[in-house]
Amino acid sequence: MANVATAVEPGRRRKGVSAVVSAVLRFVVVGAVTFLGLLTVTFFIGRVVPIDPVLAIVGDRASASAVAAARQQYGLDLPLWQQFALYLKKALTGDFGTSVLSSNPVMQDILRVFPATLELATAGTLIGLFFGIPLGVLAAVKRDSLIDQIVRVIGLVGYSIPIFWLGLMGLLIFYAKLDWVAGPGRIDIAYEYTFTPITGLFLFDAAIQGEWAAFADIFSHIILPASLLGYFSMAYISRMTRSFMLNELAQEYIVAARAKGLRETRIIWGHALRNAAVPLVTVIALSYATLLEGSVLTETIFAWPGIGMYLTNSLQNADMNAVLGGTIVIGTVFIGLNLFADLLYRLLDPRTRA
Amino acid sequence: MTLLRIEDLSIRFPTRTGDIEAVRDISFSVGRERLAIVGESGSGKSQTGRAILGLTPAFAQVTAKRLEFDGIDLLKATPRLRRDLRGKRIAMILQDPKYSLNPVMRIGRQIVEALRAHENVGTREARERTLDMLAAVQIRDPARVFDLYPHEVSGGMGQRAMIAMMLIAGPELLIADEPTSALDVTVQLDILAILDRLVAERGMGLIFISHDLRLVSSFCDRVIVMYAGRVVEEIAASELSRAKHPYTQGLLNCMPSIDADRHPLPTLERRPEWLL
Amino acid sequence: MSANAISRRDWLLSERPQSRLQARLGRAYMTWRRFSANRLALIGLAIIVALLVVAAFADLIAPYPPTVGDLRQGLLPPSAEHWFGTDDQGRDILSRVIYGSRLTLYVIVLVAIIAAPVGLIVGTVAGYAGGWIDVVLTRITDIFLAFPKLILALAFVAALGPGIENAVIAIAITSWPPYARIARAETLTVRNSDYISAVRLMGASPWRIILRHIMPLCISSLIVRVTLDMAGIIITAAGLGFLGLGAQPPLPEWGAMIASGRRFILDQWWVAAMPGAAILIVSLGFNLLGDGLRDALDPRGSRQ
């Protein structure tokens, strides 16, 4: 979001503590306001939009007494603003109610499934970074060359293809036809009962326990969905890297660096990319946030037991507490990453620190 | 002794609507002296300077009957050789330190980097020599400026750092492309004095690119006047008042003078036949 | 004849247009020339025109009815009779893809009609009014911008109930903020210009200034942005359909068709592949068209 470059200050002050404090303060205040906005919208979705919120919560197969109990329990007989205050109070303490489907508190369910999503989105972002940045740099340096065209096509296709369809096609080709990777799921049944998760990030857990057979199996499961997410991340990152690099390469300090007699590789990777890195960090954080969102459809395709699958399962079973809880959690992480990107931008650029 | 010899240098930029000829068949040579190239913006003076360094954009066409630096044919030189010449034997000072210094790199590092691109020196020696160079451009507290980012110093200070960066490897020819135009008037004279002293001390050749004829006439030995990519006049600075070409006379007449109250101020005349 | 054509071109490119109409046509002609010089943009335009034609004449083009199938002819692979094969209910997939273009158009047109004006009004009012109105409206816009669009759309549809109209509403609610942002930025650049002051001095009301003098200036950048957003809208709508929250069976919505083909993906790949390919091509068309429009309407951004 607010990743627009602030005007360059000609000031001569060294970076002050106050600058960092004000950046952090901004992060907190804007974050709080946006979070409040998210809660307002979800409250609106949960209590105002449905014709009968109680039915939305307990489901339409509930008995009359259950409906009455729920009405009282959620304070639905109170005026709207009191309901909202109650809702805020609960949401701020992480209480999103109970899931009809699992009978667990929604927060507990989400904490259980979240590491799976985190692992997938992280793997996807790493893949996107690994390929996207070099591709974007080369496309900018060799403008209008073959590699530039390739980056363009990758970007265009990435913005035009539905991820769930690409996932299906990927499963068809790489799992069913070629048998290069494992199918849906996160780990094979053979390991499911012997493998003990610690952090919930399976690749990491298997590595620190030295369970290399399990590691290979987990890797074979994650590589396809992570590559798909990585493709979308790469499309975005390479396109942005290219445009930032073109901008930097046109600057006068590049001419000065050449006039000094520096090697071209040093000019590109040491000077131009270092400057492009400042806005790129923002892009990477945004891409990570987008992948968290994109994981909803990807997880459905790959039966990946993360928050995306939790959300869609709840959706299909009209489990409104779980839906709203999931929405708030994903939304909060998304907003947090957005603002974090903004904060990083302010802290990384020596010009905006003054 | 002649350092640089140019004959019939042309620079063309092909565009979709036809070629743009930025520089057309210009010839001059420079020794260990101060040569000024004067002209309005778009006259091709900056492109001439960049072509000498080999910094013309790749899509432009540079042709010349002769483009020689110290006996080296620059047009036939390998990219490697041209890069070795840049900074080491020919250097360039750009207009505005706000844009020509890398904003995310400390000033000291940028100068050290210029030195180490050409000489194999250790970290400590590179730092010592950078601090000496910063002192040589009359920066009072070199150790402090060494660790500053470009945005943390004033324009005059930035341009001093720029001069230090370009002179640290000891070039023989320095191209200064409007080195004072972006600075406050009060600072301009300081920078010129520093340049003046260093060029004299080190026996460098200087090509001083400017639009300011008066500044140039007091600072340089010889003046070349460019108009629309051509050299219209070449004259010793001391003889400027006897310039023959109407364009040069026009430039001289444009300058307001405190003594004479001239109304209306004369406008600069541009005739199409000068383009031929 | 050819002399006539040249003079017409000269008339269009005249530097001293005699009338408003001539000036306008001249500008349009210049824009078209820049646009048509871009081959990819023309391909994009061709795809979108083809989409419109297919949607308009679906009854004539489609070889079979879209919702009625012959169960004995289920899951046939692509052949001369059924170019895209048939689905599990024996319906011709090509015909369903052709009729599905209508639903796709329906969704994107409705979303554009709802979201673009909302964004335009919020942005121009915020930019023109300034002060606390600007602060509040911009804050709200930023809050909505920071939301995950798909997730929010999902939650909306979950509350409203599945269906194509609800999907449209949910997508529209999440897509107006970028338009507001663009409109506000454009408004800020013109609001203090002399000609707006002139109009104000002549006694025009703020609403009149916004409607007649500011909004028209925002239109071209808004069109570019809406065109570029079309692909995202199509993909989001298909995603909702895929999850069973958009168009309901037996409507031939492309996302829902992919969902129904999912069960057969390993053996009858065409059931899911064909509608997905249709989404890809149409989205690509909008992206190419949008890129071309941006370059043609905003020569600043693409001059090199």
Q: What is the pLDDT of residues C94-129, one digit of tens each?
A: 999 999 999 999 999 999 999 999 999 999 999 988
Which among B94, B201, B111 is positioned nearest to B164, based on CA atoms?
A: B111
Contact B67, B26 (CB under 8 A): no
Provide the 10 A C-beta neighbour count for residue B187.
17
Residue of B nearest to A349 (CA): B104
What residues in chain B have their Cβ under 8 A from chain A's Cβ atoms? Answer: 50, 53, 55, 83-88, 91-92, 94-96, 98-105, 113-114, 117-118, 148-149, 151-154, 162, 165-166, 169
In a domain, C6, yes or no: no
Residues of A in contact with C280 (CB under 8 A): 157, 160-162, 165
Class of domain A106-352: mainly alpha
Determine contact: A149 vs chain C, CB below 8 A: no
Residue of A nearest to C240 (CA): A297
Is the CB of C244 less than 8 angstroms away from the CB of A56? no
**CA–CA distances in Å: residue B160 to residues A33, B149, B152, B197:** 47, 14, 14, 13
In a domain, C10, yes or no: no
The minimal CB distance from A162 to the residues C143, C269, C279 is found for C279
Residues in Cβ contact with A324 at an 8 Å cutoff, skipping those fewer than 6 apart: A42, A45, A46, A96, C155
- Mean pLDDT, chain C, integer: 86
Contact C254, C278 (CB under 8 A): yes
Beta pairing class for B205-210 and B173-177: parallel
Residue of A nearest to B83 (CA): A261
Residue of B nearest to A264 (CA): B83
The minimal CB distance from A256 to the residues B84, B100, B169 is found for B100
The minimal CB distance from A259 to the residues B86, B102, B103 is found for B86
CA distance B106 to chain A (A): 10
Neighbours of A (≥3 Cβ pairs closer than 8 A)? B, C
In a domain, C25, yes or no: no
**Mean pLDDT (whole number) for B90-105:** 91
CA distance A15 to chain B (A): 9
pLDDT value for A2: 36
Listed range (B160-169, B181-190, C68-77) with the worst mean pLDDT: C68-77
Domain that holds residue C46: 35-301
Listed range (A51-60, B237-246, C9-18, C172-181) with the worst mean pLDDT: A51-60
A165-190 residue pLDDT tens? 999 999 999 998 898 988 888 888 77
Residues in Cβ contact with B68 at an 8 Å cutoff, skipping those fewer than 6 apart: B4, B5, B6, B74
pLDDT value for A8: 35
The minimal CB distance from A278 to the residues B50, B102, B104 is found for B104
Residues of B in contact with A351 (CB under 8 A): 103, 149, 151
The ipTM assigned to this model is 0.88
Is the CB of B99 less than 8 angstroms away from the CB of A252? yes
Is the CB of A8 less than 8 angstroms away from the CB of B151? yes
In a domain, C56, yes or no: yes
Residue of C nearest to A37 (CA): C143
Class of domain B2-89+173-275: alpha beta
B191-225 residue pLDDT tens? 888 898 888 898 899 999 998 888 888 889 999 99
Q: What is the maximum alpha-carbon separation in chain C?
A: 76
Contact A46, A56 (CB under 8 A): yes
Number of domains making up chain C = 1
Residues of A in contact with B98 (CB under 8 A): 8, 10
- Mutation site for C-interface testing, chosen from A39, A43, A168 by largest number of C Cβ within 10 Å: A168
**pLDDT above 90 for C26:** no
Domain boundaries, chain B: 2-89+173-275, 97-170
Asked if omega into B256 is within 30° of 0 (cis), the reply is no
Determine contact: A106 vs chain C, CB below 8 A: no
Q: What is the DSSP string of A8-40?
A: PP---PPPPHHHHHHHHHHHHHHHHHHHHHHHH
What's the distance, CA C132 to chain centroid?
32
Residues of C in contact with A297 (CB under 8 A): 150, 239, 242-243
Q: What is the DSSP string of B38-63?
A: E--TTSSHHHHHHHHHT-S-TTSEEE
Residue of A nearest to B170 (CA): A260
pLDDT value for A7: 33
Is the CB of C154 less than 8 angstroms away from the CB of A311? yes
pLDDT value for A268: 94
Is the CB of C150 less than 8 angstroms away from the CB of A296? yes
Residues of chain A short of pLDDT 70, as ranges, are 1-17, 48-60, 74-75, 351-354
Is the CB of C242 less than 8 angstroms away from the CB of A159? no
Residue of A nearest to B166 (CA): A260
Percent of chain B with pLDDT over 70: 93
C178-227 residue pLDDT tens? 999 999 988 888 888 888 888 888 888 888 888 888 888 888 888 888 98
d(CA C15, CA A330): 56
The minimal CB distance from B94 to the residues A13, A255, A349 is found for A255
pLDDT value for B92: 94
**Mean pLDDT (whole number) for B97-114:** 92
CA distance B93 to chain A (A): 8
Q: What is the maximum alpha-carbon separation in chain B?
A: 62
d(CA C137, CA C153): 21
- Mutation site for B-interface testing, chosen from A143, A260, A265 by largest number of B Cβ within 10 Å: A260
Is the CB of B86 less than 8 angstroms away from the CB of A349? no
pLDDT value for A11: 41
Is the CB of A252 less than 8 angstroms away from the CB of B113? no
The minimal CB distance from C280 to the residues A160, A311, A338 is found for A160
The minimal CB distance from C265 to the residues A156, A168, A323 is found for A168
Domain boundaries, chain A: 24-92, 106-352
Residues in Cβ contact with A21 at an 8 Å cutoff, skipping those fewer than 6 apart: none
Is the CB of A331 less than 8 angstroms away from the CB of C150? no
Determine contact: A253 vs chain C, CB below 8 A: no
Where residue C258 falls (left for φ over 0; alpha for ψ -120 to 50; beta otherwise) is alpha
Residues of A in contact with B49 (CB under 8 A): none
Contact C255, C241 (CB under 8 A): yes
pLDDT value for C299: 53
- Residue bearing the bigger pLDDT, C269 or B270: C269
**pLDDT above 60 for C14:** yes
- Mutation site for A-interface testing, chosen from B116, B133, B152, B154 by largest number of A Cβ within 10 Å: B152
Contact A71, A55 (CB under 8 A): no
In a domain, C86, yes or no: yes
Is the CB of A162 less than 8 angstroms away from the CB of C145? no
Residue of A nearest to B177 (CA): A256
A202-227 residue pLDDT tens? 888 888 888 888 888 899 999 999 99
- Mutation site for B-interface testing, chosen from A253, A258, A266, A344 by largest number of B Cβ within 10 Å: A253
Is the CB of B114 less than 8 angstroms away from the CB of A260? yes
Contact B122, B115 (CB under 8 A): no
**pLDDT above 80 for B53:** yes
The minimal CB distance from B55 to the residues A13, A259, A349 is found for A259
Q: What is the DSSP string of A210-232?
A: T-HHHHHHHHHHHHHHHHHHHHH
B67: enclosing H helix or E strand: strand B66-69
Neighbours of B (≥3 Cβ pairs closer than 8 A)? A
Which among C148, C174, C147, C164 is positioned nearest to A294, based on CA atoms?
A: C148
Phi, psi of A14 (to 5 degrees): -75, 160
**Mean pLDDT (whole number) for C229-247:** 90
Is the CB of C232 less than 8 angstroms away from the CB of A56? no
CA distance A257 to chain C (A): 22
Is the CB of A12 less than 8 angstroms away from the CB of B153? yes
Is the CB of C154 less than 8 angstroms away from the CB of A33? no
In a domain, C16, yes or no: no
Residues of A in contact with B153 (CB under 8 A): 12
